[in-house]
Structure 1
Amino acid sequence: MAGLRERKKRQTRQHLADVAMGLFLERGFDAVTVAEVAEAAEVSVNTVYNYFPAKEDLFLQEEEEFVERPSARVRRRRPGESAAEAILRGLRQDIADRSPWTGLAENYHRFVRVAFGSSTLMARLMRMQHQTSQRLAETLREEAHAKPDDHVPDLIASHLMLLQGEIFRTAGVCAMDGAPLATTARLMLEKLDTAEMLMSARVLNYARRPEG
């Protein structure tokens, strides 16, 4: 029974998210109310809030996964691999796999248009970027056994997350320009390669996991 209940909860959550996203893409984020989402999904407003505490959560459904992803990659880095190399490798793999979270998806321009059309969503996205950088800095500090007053983990985290943000910005600009996904992916990979060549040895070698 527990498994069935959890499956139903996941289905309800996904249904609410799909209904909300359809309305946001059609009318814009600010023009849609939670009550309208509830009505379209045929549930109560309270049900929507039970699954999504804020309206922004309906649009940015994978926030926690987004925030945690770079840190998780550092913790799972391979023997002999540094923190930066693990993050760059993960980004390259996501681009090669056309992972939706990178922006390499059909109709991504609609998502970008809605996000940029709402100051509320833009503020939330900026907060997510800040949280991601903070989380990564904490992970780097732990993995490198850095002292509490060492600023290097914070600075390297900011450096790497600014790069990740630039890669995502590239996907958004290309989507708005109507560029083919293959062209967008190639440009994103070229930027990653260039960024890696420009990295200092201190950044590129930080928190390198011992071999074996």
Structure 2
Amino acid sequence: MNERNPTLRERQREETRRAIQTCAVRLFTDRGYDRVTVAEIAEAAGVSSMTVYRHFPTKEDLVLVEQPVRHIAELVASSPASFPLVRRVGSALVDAATALTRREVDEPAAGERFLLDCLRLMIATPALRARHLDSQYAMQQAIVEALGEDAADQDDAFLARAAISACLAAMHMALTRWAEDDGRTPLPDLITRALTASFGDTAVVRRPGS
């Protein structure tokens, strides 16, 4: 099925959203999260405060990176059902990280640098750490729903959530290390190492081209 191309209005909306978030993260990084107001972000982005709130209902939302939740859930759902769930989830997380941080040269790309800045802010700011945990729960739920009948039984659903939570915890540790290391070690490698330390050498299978 062919995906629908975004309309001009949708592209403009996304450009505005990206510009606001870029300004916000730059100001937060330079001056500290608590010292920057939404009004200052709006002024830097050349929009009104109302426009900022239209795109980002709370100040915390300005730092949250939209995770490829649907993509990860689809990767898990499309992986062989005969594989252990940890292997299915772990491989999907590594593949998604590979796509998200793919670079053409040794230096981090602009998008990767932005992600690193967001992660450092989340690590340093208690309110943002709490929101990050919320996003992890949302990803867990999306993966469980994508499994469908594979986790239809109540006990199966419990075991699935336990396995998924453990994988996401390993990914969280890898993200933290990646931010502290300023992106010098590729994120997919860190996630693979974290998953391997938790579940063994067969926890991850790289798909061709990843």
Q: TM-score, normalised by structure 2?
A: 0.72
Structure 1: gaps (5+ residues): 205-212
Which one-letter code corresponds to 2:93 in the other structure?
L
Q: Contact 1:134–1:157 at 8 Å: present in 2 too?
A: no
Q: Which residue of 2 aligns with 1:116?
A: 123
Instruction: For residue 45 of structure 1, report the CA deviation from its aligned partner.
Output: 0.9
Please tell me whether Structure 1 or Structure 2 has the larger radius of gyration of its CA atoms: 1
Question: Which residue in the other structure is 2:178 paired with?
Answer: 171
Q: Which stretch of the first structure deviates more once superposed, 70-79 or 116-125?
A: 70-79
User: CA distance change for structure 1 residues 40 and 107 in 2, over 3 Å: closer, same or farther?
Assistant: closer
Q: Deviations over 1:27-71 (max 9, x none)?
A: 122211111111111211111111111111211141xx3444442
Q: CA deviation at 1:195?
A: 3.3
Letter in 2 for 1:60: L
Q: Distance in 2 between matches of 1:86 and 1:13?
A: 33
- 1:77 Cα deviation (Å)? 1.8
The count of corresponding residues between Structure 1 and Structure 2 is 189
Query: Out of 165, 178, 191, which is 2:194 matched to?
Result: 191
> Quick check: 1:95–1:189 contact (8 Å CA) kept in 2?
no
How far 1:95 sits from its partner (Å)?
5.1
Alpha-carbon contact 1:137-1:156 (below 8 Å) kept? no
Aligned to 2:75: 73
Counterpart in the other structure of 1:208: none
Query: Which position in structure 1 is the counterpart of 2:153?
Result: 147
Confirm whether residue 5 of structure 1 aligns to residue 12 of structure 2. Answer: no
Q: Could you give the per-residue CA deviations for residues 8-31 of structure 1, whole angstroms, max 9, x where no partner exists? A: 212211111111121111112221
Q: Distance in 2 between matches of 1:6 and 1:109?
A: 26
TM-score when normalising by structure 1: 0.71
Unaligned runs of 5+ in 2: 1-5, 103-107, 204-210
Deviates more, 1:91-100 or 1:16-25: 91-100
Instruction: Report % sequence identity.
Output: 28
The aligned counterpart of 1:20 is 24
2:207 is matched with which residue?
A: none
Structure 1 counterpart of 2:208: none
RMSD: 3.1
- In structure 2, do the counterparts of structure 1 residues 32 and 5 end up closer, same or farther at CA, with 3 Å as the change threshold? same
Match of 1:129 in 2: 136
